[in-house]
Structures are given as C-alpha cells and as structure tokens.
C-alpha cells in the first residue's frame, strides 16, 4: 500500500470505529433509559465477558482446543478460583500468570 492509501485507511477506520463508540452515550445520557432496556443492559456485561473469555480460552491457532492439556483453560480455572475466593483482581491475575508459567514448564 502507498502511504496515501495507508492514510485514507487510517482515517476511514477512525470514523467507522468512532461512530459506535460515541452515538450511544450522546443519545442515552440525555434521556431516561426505558426500564426494559436498562434490564437488558444488566445482562450485557456478563454475556460479553462470557463470549470473550470462552473464545480466548478454547480457540487456539489450530482451531478449538477442549482438551485437558489446554494451558489457557487450566490457568483460567486457577484465576476463577482465586477471584471467587479473594475478590481481588490483582491476586487473580498474579496467580493466573504463575499457573500459566508453571503449566508451560510441565506441559
């Protein structure tokens, strides 16, 4: 690609990325959000996290990996256990990274 094409690309990407980011706050922060929408939005975070996390854990470079040698999966169980027990994000991440490292040495 020529540098002018890269610039056009960047500007186009900027505009199309900005619109979905900015429109909802501009509209929603100036009106009363209907109760049903508010209730629906309550279930968005857990759904987004579930979708992102499952895809991160079970999808590898060679497609799906549901086996028990999946380091992502095993380390994630450690993260979950620490998070539920301690309610501390820092501890969850540190233990998760340690588990990930240890598993890399073993598997």
Q: Give residues in contact with another protein (CB under 8 A).
A: 1, 3, 5-14, 16-18, 20-30, 33, 36, 38-59, 64, 72, 75-76, 79-80, 83-84, 87, 89-90, 92-93, 96-97, 100-101, 104
Q: How far is the CB of 33 from another protein (least distance, A)?
A: 6
Q: How far is the CB of 98 from another protein (least distance, A)?
A: 10
Name the residue nearer to another protein (CB basis): 61 or 68.
61
Alpha helices by DSSP H, 2-107? 3-28, 35-42, 44-58, 71-86, 89-106
Alpha-carbon distance 100 to 74, whole Å? 8
Q: Is 33 helix (H, G, I), strand (E, B) or coil?
A: coil
């Amino acid at each position: 690609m020529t540098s002018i094409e890269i610039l056009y690309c960047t500007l186009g990407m900027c505009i199309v990325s900005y619109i979905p980011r900015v429109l909802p706050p501009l509209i929603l922060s100036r009106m009363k959000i209907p109760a049903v929408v508010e209730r629906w939005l309550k279930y968005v975070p857990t759904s987004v996290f579930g979708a992102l996390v499952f895809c991160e854990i079970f999808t590898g470079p060679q497609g799906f990996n549901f086996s028990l040698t999946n380091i992502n999966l095993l380390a994630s169980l450690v993260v979950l256990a620490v998070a539920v027990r301690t309610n501390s994000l820092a501890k969850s991440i540190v233990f998760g990274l340690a588990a990930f490292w240890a598993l890399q040495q073993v598997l």
